[in-house]
Amino acid sequence: MSAAATVADLDPVVLGDLEHELWLLLRRVRRNVAERAQAVEPGLTALGYGVLDQLLRDGSGRAADIGCTVGADKGAMSRTVHQLVDLGLVERTVDPEDARALVLSLSEHGRDRMREVTEHRRARFLGLMSGWTNAELSDLVAGLTRYNATVEAAVASAD
């Protein structure tokens, strides 16, 4: 691996191209999340989908912690949890360690819907990436991992 570049070494045209590609990726991700939310349940918000996805990964979690993870404030999380419970996608229980806190978990219906949408998404993604080699995919993963770590470190140092 080569030595890290200084700011003066970085090509402004390449940086501009990178910013443009990241912007396209962000727009695409937002659109895809909105589509996935609708595939789970018509009217489901993107935040609701994010909560469901987090619960699918973790199994359960405190509403406040999930809110921090998905970047939602207390009011937005409260509305989202109500929607998810009303749709039968999530079950909420009182945290046995703190009666003021709620623990969320996917209902059987929520788990079924998320698995179905995840399987469809994964099949679509595999089709999209079928023209890439494993080496190209590994390079992309490594670059994105490094980028995300760089951003996380910058955010942490700003706090």
pLDDT of residue 85: 97
- 124-145 b/e with 16+ CB inside 10 Å = b? eeeeeeeeeeeeeeeeeeeeee
pLDDT of residue 76: 95
Structure tokens at 46: 């993107």
Domains, the chain, in order of start with CATH, read 11-158 (1.10.10.10)
pLDDT of residue 2: 54
Average pLDDT of the chain is: 92
Q: How far apart are CA 63 and CA 54, in angstroms?
A: 11
Show the low-confidence residues of the chain (pLDDT under 50): 1
